[in-house]
Amino acid sequence: MHCDSLIEFEAGAATSAGHRRAANEDSHVVRRRYAVVADGMGGHAGGATASAIAVDTVSARLDAASVIRVATIHEAIDAADLAIRTRAVVDDTDGMGTTLVAAVVVEGPERSPAIAVAHAGDSRCYRYASGVLGLVTVDHSLVQQLVTAGRISSDQAALHPMANVVTRALGVDGLAFADVTLLPVEPCRLLLCSDGLSDELPARTVGRVLAGIVDPQAAAERLVELTLSGDARDNVTAVVIDVAPAHHP
């Protein structure tokens, strides 16, 4: 029995260009075994293309794998990085790139099922379980490095003039390496989102939505709606995933 048949993975997604951007440079995909969110950089011509290439390439690689392991995810992200850099040369699109976050059902240690969360950049994964909201990912960004070093506070980071500078991204030479975190297979709810959501909504608001709206599609739509009720300075994408061990007769 494949690992992915041991986990129920129900998800909903919503996205918007926001109020200040002419186009949506975010891309996302939701499948039975995985979900991916990518936030493009480099203007619409570059950013939208980069995020779409990332999502399409990662999806193709994961779909082609009979068994997905952590190495499979790294290979898929490496392939997406190369595809973006190749396209940038063809299109002469300097600075084209994308952040990425994904949640994937994988075969973990001792062939047991697990949820792998992979990310590069400042797109995030939150986990809500047993009434507690936690952040699975740590932003690959300049301000996060300053926070980690104790040079600025988290509150100061949100207002820092370099808040949009990421230190890892697909399509940028040498910066595509993704961190992968393995989560136990136990009932929980995951949120994958671009920074257009996490920069606008406080964690307590995110937690209330994930706790209070049962349907993952409705929860994703509500998170985007709440973002749009504010400044919505950036594109915003939310994918809400309910994870639970599958029940077999």
Tell me the domain boundaries of the chain: 3-245
The answer on pLDDT for 249 being more than 60 is: no
Q: What is the DSSP pairing of strand 124-129 with strand 188-193?
A: antiparallel
pTM, entire model: 0.93
Q: What angle do CA 128, 131, 132 make, to 5 degrees?
A: 55
Chain position carrying tokens 């207002």: 159
The model's pLDDT over 190-221, given as tens digits with 9 standing for 90+, comes to 999 999 999 999 999 999 999 999 999 999 99
- The identity of residue 104, as a single letter, is V
Confidence of residue 184 (pLDDT cuts 50, 70, 90): confident
- What one-letter code names the amino acid at 40? G
- Quickly list H helices, the chain: 43-64, 70-91, 142-148, 154-158, 195-198, 203-212, 216-228
CATH number of 3-245: 3.60.40.10
CA-to-CA distance for 193 and 176, rounded, in angstroms? 18
Crossing angle between the packed helical segments 70-91 and 43-64, to the nearest 10 degrees: 150
180 Cβ contact list (under 8 Å, min separation 6): 70, 73, 74, 116, 117, 118
pLDDT for position 44: 59
pLDDT surpassing 80 at residue 42: no
Q: 4 or 145, which is more confident? A: 145
